[in-house]
A = this chain, B = another copy of it.
Amino acid sequence: MKKLSFLFLLLQASLFAAAQQSFQGSGPVFSPEIHGDNTVTFRIAAPQAGKVQIMSDFLPTQKYPTPFGEIDGPGMADLAKKENGVWEYTTPQALTPELYSYAFIVDGVRVNDPANVHMVRDIGVVSNVFLIGGGQADLYKVDDVPHGTVSRIWYHSPALGLERRMTVYTPAGYETRDERYPVLYLLHGIGGDEEGWITSGRAAQIMDNLIAQGKARPMIVVMPNGNAALEAAPGETSTGYTIPTLFLPKTMEGSFETAFPEIVEFIDRAYRTKADKRHRAIAGLSMGGFHSLHISKQYPDMFDYVGLFSASIMPDPKVKSPIYDDFDRKLDRQFAKHPALYWIGIGRSDFLYQINADFRKKLDARGYKYVYFENDGGHVWRNWRIYLSTFASQLF
């Protein structure tokens, strides 16, 4: 009988073998440590390192050189070497409520925090995450409220000639009730995929919390893959563990928009939806805002609610697709039907700010009604989470 307890301990030990390797005698490291006052300490055991930095969106933005000029990116700070080869950094002030992401740079190598298993892939970059609760950020928590279901489901696309994957959120109770629900189609940006809104975007937590607070109606949220040449997110396709890339074929050239009614038909067949315009919304970030704009004006009887989050507006003039023909005439036709909500959100430092201002001028000149939401910041998930929360509260 004593033998059994020993085996149990041995099992426990074996499961930690790989993990222990990383401690290299320095003992387990706790990181990030969120203190009671919302300052945060980050730690990494790196006894042989000469320099360790942290790179995060809680630090002041800094400039990065790119082939296209300098652009804003996450700030950086130095960690200090402590006992046992553990490096440490504590924020000088309390962090404001937010879902933050970070990575360490150890002697020039960008690495994830070995003590923090919580990571999110955004396109081709994996970062650790942590959450400072309070205010808006409480919407991003898995709170003690009824939870919806998140499904990865495949549909057949005759138009694109592919089996394709999407992420679908159904509100709490969907499986055990008989109700029908309205549907929000929620689209990702360039280089993104059907995982973006549910991971970086915290869409399930935002919807769970808004619905529980009575601030949004129970709804289905459909997050398809907006890259018309792809089956699914990297690693989830028959091409294997591919490298995420921004340079995808068949993107923003009309294919996805043309094929979109297939997705709506599939959802109306596979789920208990309220299958009419009055109960359908479409929204997206960046390229997804562009898709939402062009899909909603191409099919003016499909969506009564449209959300453009930091949206790209006009197609590349070199691209030829019937989708992009007659922009103004299609817009006229769409607005003649008085959409229940046409919502535009953008940050003041977003590089797409001006083209959104231009688009608003066009809408204003034609006397078209829309709701405009402007805030600080740029082309980042922090803003898109705010836009989703705000937009979803105004639906149906």
Smallest distance from the beta carbon of A156 to chain B beta carbons, Å? 9
Q: Does chain B have a CB within 8 A of A41? A: no
Do B238 and A68 touch across chains, with their CB atoms under 8 A apart? no
Q: Which listed segment binds B: A14-22, A275-283, A292-300, A387-395?
A: A14-22
Number of chain A residues close to chain B: CB under 8 A: 110
Across the interface, A316 reaches (CB within 8 A) one of B5, B48, B109, namely B5
Return the CB mask of A352-393 against B: 1 if under 8 Å, else 0.
Answer: 100100000000000000000000000100000000000000
Return the CB mask of A131-150 against B: 1 if under 8 Å, else 0.
Answer: 10100000001111011011
Q: Which residues of B contact A20 (CB under 8 A)?
A: 64, 66
Q: Which residues of B contact A5 (CB under 8 A)?
A: 316, 318
Do A12 and B190 touch across chains, with their CB atoms under 8 A apart? yes
Q: Which residues of B contact A48 (CB under 8 A)?
A: 50, 107-109
Return the CB mask of A242-273 against B: 1 if under 8 Å, else 0.
Answer: 01101100000000000000000000011100
Do A153 and B142 touch across chains, with their CB atoms under 8 A apart? no
Smallest distance from the beta carbon of A154 to chain B beta carbons, Å? 4
**Max chain B CB contacts within 10 Å: which of A55, A74, A240?**
A240
Q: Which listed segment binds B: A178-186, A218-226, A229-237, A334-342?
A: A229-237
Do B10 and A238 touch across chains, with their CB atoms under 8 A apart? no
Smallest distance from the beta carbon of A222 to chain B beta carbons, Å? 13
Q: Does chain B have a CB within 8 A of A121? A: yes
Do B107 and A49 touch across chains, with their CB atoms under 8 A apart? yes
Do B64 and A129 touch across chains, with their CB atoms under 8 A apart? no
Across the interface, A105 reaches (CB within 8 A) one of B11, B21, B66, B191, namely B21
Q: Which residues of B contact A269 (CB under 8 A)?
A: 175-176
Do B176 and A270 touch across chains, with their CB atoms under 8 A apart? yes
Q: Which residues of B contact A244 (CB under 8 A)?
A: 117
Q: Which residues of B contact A45 (CB under 8 A)?
A: 108-109
Q: Does chain B have a CB within 8 A of A331? A: no
Q: Does chain B have a CB within 8 A of A321? A: no
- Cα-based distance from A269 to B14 in the complex (angstroms): 39
**Which residues of A from 22 to 53 have beta carbons under 8 Å from B?**
22, 24, 30, 44-50
Do B66 and A17 touch across chains, with their CB atoms under 8 A apart? yes
Residue of B nearest to A267 (CB): B175
Q: Which residues of B contact A13 (CB under 8 A)?
A: 66-69, 71
- Cα-based distance from A1 to B316 in the complex (angstroms): 8
Residue of B nearest to A144 (CB): B238
Q: Which residues of B contact A50 (CB under 8 A)?
A: 48
Q: Which residues of B contact A163 (CB under 8 A)?
A: 144, 146-147
Do A110 and B114 touch across chains, with their CB atoms under 8 A apart? yes
Do A49 and B109 touch across chains, with their CB atoms under 8 A apart? yes
Do A238 and B142 touch across chains, with their CB atoms under 8 A apart? yes
Do B379 and A11 touch across chains, with their CB atoms under 8 A apart? yes
Task: Given A15-B246, A17-B64, A106-B106, output 8 extra A-B contacts at Cβ < 8 Å.
Answer: A45-B108, A49-B107, A106-B107, A107-B107, A112-B112, A118-B241, A142-B235, A143-B238
Instruction: List 5 A-B residue pairs with CB atoms under 8 Å apart, sorted by A's residue number.
Output: A15-B189, A18-B103, A46-B109, A49-B107, A175-B271
Closest 9 CB pairs of A and B: A22-B110, A175-B270, A17-B73, A13-B66, A48-B107, A111-B111, A151-B151, A147-B154, A149-B153
